[in-house]
Structure 1
């Protein structure tokens, strides 16, 4: 996975050092010695075809045998994608490793797990590479749990600062997957009509798609933890998932060059800790974005600590950024018809707010 690179721009934000720095941090902290380390594997063609089209898989497979000059020209047909001869193999390993973690958890070998993988996947659509993503790792992990373990309730929490358009599209009609995304509305993939709070799923999947769409930059621990308390945990507890998957982009972290937000490693640890109360602790944290090497490494370490049950540092909670409370209330209003658990929680929060004033 470290061989996948932008040949024209070696210092590109989605670079091999993203996973090597995370791995080094986990190793130096002693976390890896406390975990069962799984061998990476490639995703099979059959597994990819659960969600991706045959033509697209064949198209990407063919890139492994093309010269770099041809691949550079081919990049132009995609949006925010780079290709090299190793890209296809890296994408297979990234997807397959996600499935490997899920299998270890659902077979009872592990209680929970995390995958230090790239390229990321949540933007990838069934027939198109998009936004640094080739195969939709997290979506395939959910589909693997459905196909191989007959799970009926899978929660995906996507806290990448960018909306996971690929995951949403793949499951927007499927109540077996509850997809919750926290993201900025005003940045890539620039589709506010598809990722705002009013997009709650369609057909049998209505109510099972939750978009907590921040209107602007600047959100931090206070805003994210408020969203967890007010929206995510009440819905998740009512849904009672059998497995939790985290599309763990760390580009909302303080210092990230793209996100413009300020979630701390401790904040990510607290969010991960809350999710471990679900599904008997069966949680898989799968790396997505995050482009500040220090913040992505520190944040993944804190999530690993949370999965291991270690004591976590507390976070400083202050007043919400302008727009955050409005966003949370909008989400609650759209989801109230589908999740009765929000009724008590919303009313309680309103009373607390009035009391504080």
Structure 2
């Protein structure tokens, strides 16, 4: 090797060194593995076996066995007792002929085709698994198929839809059948199967209403989706395309019903149903929902929204002021508001817009109603219109909550007593305040509420006075020990109290 060769070699080596000085390790993209809970759709890291939010097992069998599936183990029944009970129900159901059944169920698997096509960072809460979980629970319990009988499904006609919705709205929903994926609002999706699914859901609700009112069955449950109570005359929103409850109410009236009661216990206000029947004195709409001063979706449903155009009082809103509302507040509102007004109205047919998103564990509703609470409310409404009652599924996004709650409701329709009977307790303070506010407004239209309002208002005033007295006594004890009142320090005791009240009056 010559000197020139060595020099060139050294130069090349130095150039490599300079390049190496700028070298950085290759940045690898580390993928974080995660899974979405089947029960509540919440995201979890891959190394976690149970959902951090609801505790459901990563490979739970809830879609095969419904709420009977164990939440703790992979694809297992919750307990031997429950599985044996379900087996007994199935055995007894096989002895019942379809003709002896009194409860009809509306269901069609084509409604499962309605789903969000676009893959997003989080699964949509209104998903086909909602129906699958309820259907699996009913099948495991031997209720459906078994003790309830199915009605044939059909698509609602355009003429029937036009009794509720505008032609523009009907056309906009139908247009989605030509699109792979579309959205009415950022949270209300559609695919090429959605329009048909919505027509099937509406058709089932209409036919169930006709069957029940005509006496061909005693009552019924519409296991349908997409839900409907947010769909108004001209718009689809809140996961809803066609208003199933409104269509069912008009179908019942077409069959001969003169007065229809709709009770909506979905955690969200049914703004669409309220709009459709605003000014209509033949339909009484009652909604219990979270409102929180209009800050909870959809923002409508304040207590002062009572109806218009001579039908004031035929819209009754019971707007909760906070989350976490449970059985006792709901049943208290039923006793004080819903039942007295319904009795005065005298319905020929009753519809429940049964959203189960106020159920304990629901990720959207964040309330605390149990299956026993839903069963109790169903019993209370079953006494109206000679038991002609149609329950229509609306919301509810925790699979275990909606399947157990729906099963409890259907057992009431079948005349059963649920395993966990409702234990009655008093309402919460905020629940009592909400009911008082509603009574104060609605007593102007329903005089039967007057005595209840006066009695509750008096109880509330007495409670408030007692609470103030307790606070006053507590404040006095903190200012000076009570023993000072009679001892040598009595002067200081009275001076401290006097000084406190003088200072307080000056601040006012």
TM-score, normalising length: structure 2: 0.66
CA contact (8 A) 2:229 2:240 kept: yes
**Where does residue 130 of structure 2 map in the other structure?**
18
2: distance between equivalents of 1:309 and 1:354? Answer: 41
List, as ranges, runs of 4+ consecutive aligned residues in structure 1 with deviation greater than 6 Å.
Answer: 351-357
SS at match of 2:149: coil
Q: Within 1, Cα distance between the matches of 2:407 and 2:188?
A: 28
Aligned to 1:78: 185
- 1:134 deviates by 0.3
The answer on whether the counterparts of 2:436 and 2:457 sit within 8 Å (CA) in structure 1 is no
The correspondence of residues 204-223 of structure 1 with structure 2, limited to 5 A, is: 204-223=310-329
Unaligned runs of 5+ in 1: none
SS at match of 1:252: coil
Note if 1:248 corresponds to 2:360: no
RMSD of aligned alpha carbons: 1.8
Counterparts of 2:444 and 2:462, CA distance in 1: 27
Distance 1:57 1:223, change over 3 A: same
Matched position secondary structure for 2:189: coil
Which of the residues 310, 324, 328 maps onto 2:431? 324
Shift in Å, 1:315: 2.3
Q: Which residue of 2 aligns with 1:91?
A: 198
State the 1:345 CA deviation: 3.1
TM-score (ref. length: structure 1): 0.93
CA–CA separation in structure 2 for the residues paired with 1:106 and 1:316: 32
Q: Structure 1: how far apart are the matches of 2:296 and 2:388?
A: 31
Aligned to 1:36: 149
Which consecutive unaligned segments of at least 5 residues does structure 2 have?
1-110, 467-508
1:266 to 348, 372, 385: 372
Question: Alignment partner for residue 65 of structure 1, among 178, 187, 196?
Answer: 178
Cross-structure match for 1:184? 290
In the aligned structure 2, how far is the partner of 1:9 from the partner of 1:124? 25
Q: Measured at CA, do residues 31 and 348 of structure 1 come closer, stay the same or move farther in structure 2, by a change above 3 Å?
A: farther
**Preserved CA contact (<8 Å) 1:200 1:206:** yes
Structure 2 contact 213–257 (Cα < 8 Å) conserved: no
Shift of 1:79: 4.7
User: Which one has the largest radius of gyration?
Assistant: 2
Is structure 2 residue 269 aligned with structure 1 residue 163?
A: yes
Q: Deviations over 1:218-246 (max 9, x none)?
A: 10001000000000001111111000000
> Is 2:228 aligned against 1:118?
no
Contact map agreement 1:200 1:209 (CA 8 A) in 2: yes
- SS of alignment partner, residue 156 of structure 1: strand
Q: CA deviation at 1:354?
A: 8.2
Change (3 A) 1:188 1:83: farther
Distance of 1:352 and 1:224 partners within structure 2: 19
Shift of 1:349: 4.5
Q: How far is 1:317 from its partner?
A: 3.7
Q: CA deviation at 1:29?
A: 1.1
2:162 equivalent to 1:49: yes
Cα distance in structure 2, aligned partners of 1:16 and 1:127: 25
Residues 216 and 240 of structure 1: is their aligned pair in 2 closer, same or farther, counting only changes over 3 Å?
same
Partner SS state of residue 341, structure 1: helix
**1: CA distance between counterparts of 2:431 and 2:437?**
10
**Which position in structure 1 is the counterpart of 2:117?**
7
SS at match of 2:206: helix
Distance (whole Å) between structure 2 residues aligned to residue 355 and residue 336 of structure 1: 22
Q: Deviations over 1:106-161 (max 9, x none)?
A: 11111111110000000001111100000000011111222x22422100000000
Residue 285 of structure 1: aligned partner: 391
1:105 & 1:308 partners in 2: Cα distance? 14
- Structure 2 Cα separation of the partners of residues 355 and 59 of structure 1: 56
How far apart are the structure 2 equivalents of 1:53 and 1:235? 31
- 1:3-46 deviations in Å (ceiling 9; x for gaps): 10011248311000101111111111122211221122211111
Counterpart contact for 2:113–2:193, Cα < 8 Å:
yes
Q: Once structures 1 and 2 are overlaid, which stretch shifts more, 280-289 or 304-313?
A: 304-313
* Aligned mate of 1:142, from 240, 249, 252: 249
Corresponding residue pairs, total: 348
User: Which position in structure 1 is the counterpart of 2:95?
Assistant: none
